[in-house]
């Protein structure tokens, strides 16, 4: 196996050409919302199972989710919903808190979902969208954000608190205009506060090569990451065990990707 082992920490294999991922040069992907068990050749696939959401919540109104990429969870269904994902092989639990696209759980239910995942020894990754959802997720104890927050400029004190315990997956390439500007600004302040950033593209959302995306790396350089920080973002950390790579060859690989 290549000594350079890079990971995309946000993909949806149900929505892409798995053959392109198999040939794309990634060593591992974190599938953050899938209905089945799509394989990608020799690429290691770590799964979150179906995205958990409130009844009537996001992504239930999206055509791309119609194949079962999500599961609605009522207050009396929390433990069973989380257990289903774990029994199906979920290594992490993905939840949706998208107040811009439908209902979200009240604080009590949100806390119960996170607690149920913790009982199962699973970390929780949250899609946070809409005013106040990043703060609610943090208060509930989630471990990661599936995207750098882009729908609001987070307060500096909140960013500082998040930097102490919540890992952010970048996914900057899916945004443009004001949304991208807010995501860059939030992520830059998060990085400067010492927050841990992981490389992720939301593969399946827009065009994808199946491998490491140059535009995502360039956006992370815009945030302020050094080349060594890019390597750390590409190899792992708090959400998944880090993949060790030969440091010199990893630097060369990043340089080639940026020059390509």
160 vs 181: CA distance, rounded Å: 19
Both ends of the chain: CA-CA distance in Å? 23
DSSP-based three-state secondary structure for 196: coil
In eight-state DSSP terms, residue 241 is P
194 Rama class: left (phi>0) / alpha (psi -120 to 50) / beta:
left
Contacts of 244 (CB under 8 A, 6+ apart): 5, 235
Summary mean pLDDT of the chain: 95
The H-assigned helical ranges of the chain are 18-22, 78-87, 107-119, 133-140, 156-163, 177-192, 214-223, 227-235, 247-259
What architecture does CATH give domain 51-146?
Answer: Alpha-Beta Barrel (3.20)
The model's pLDDT over 188-235, given as tens digits with 9 standing for 90+, comes to: 999 999 999 999 999 999 999 999 999 999 999 999 999 999 999 999
pLDDT-derived band at 65, boundaries 50, 70, 90: very high
Q: Is the pTM of this model over 0.85?
A: yes
What's the pLDDT score for residue 1?
39
103 vs 38: CA distance, rounded Å: 30
Tokens standing for residue 95: 């939840």
Domain assignments of the chain as residue spans, ordered by start: 1-47+172-260, 51-146
Residue 100, CB-side half-sphere exposure with 13 Å CA sphere: 12
Distance of CA 26 to the CA centre of its chain: 16
DSSP-based three-state secondary structure for 165: coil
Neighbour-count burial of 26, counting CB atoms closer than 10 A to its CB (0-12 exposed, 13-18 middle, 19+ buried)? buried
Is residue 2 over pLDDT 70?
Answer: no
């Amino acid at each position: 196996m290549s000594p350079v082992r890079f990971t995309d920490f946000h993909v949806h294999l149900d929505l892409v050409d798995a053959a392109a991922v198999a040939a794309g040069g990634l060593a591992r992907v974190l599938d953050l919302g899938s209905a089945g068990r799509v394989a990608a050749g020799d690429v290691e696939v770590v799964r979150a199972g179906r995205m958990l959401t409130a009844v009537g919540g996001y992504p239930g109104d999206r055509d791309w989710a119609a194949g079962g990429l999500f599961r609605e969870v009522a207050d009396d269904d929390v433990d069973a919903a989380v257990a289903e994902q774990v029994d199906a092989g979920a290594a992490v639990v993905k939840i949706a808190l998208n107040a811009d696209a439908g209902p979200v759980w009240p604080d009590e239910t949100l806390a119960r979902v996170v607690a149920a995942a913790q009982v199962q020894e699973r970390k929780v990754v949250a899609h946070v969208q809409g005013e106040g959802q990043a703060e609610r997720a943090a208060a509930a104890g989630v471990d990661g954000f599936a995207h750098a927050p882009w729908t609001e400029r987070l307060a500096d004190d909140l960013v500082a608190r998040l930097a102490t315990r919540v890992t952010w997956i970048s996914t900057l390439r899916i945004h443009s205009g004001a949304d991208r500007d807010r995501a860059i600004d939030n992520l830059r302040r998060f990085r400067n506060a010492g927050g841990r950033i992981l490389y992720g593209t939301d593969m399946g959302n827009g065009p994808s090569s199946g491998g490491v995306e140059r535009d995502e790396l360039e956006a992370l350089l815009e945030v302020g990451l050094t080349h060594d920080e890019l390597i750390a973002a590409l190899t792992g950390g708090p959400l998944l065990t880090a993949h060790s790579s030969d440091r010199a060859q990893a630097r060369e690989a990043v340089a080639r990707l940026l020059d390509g």
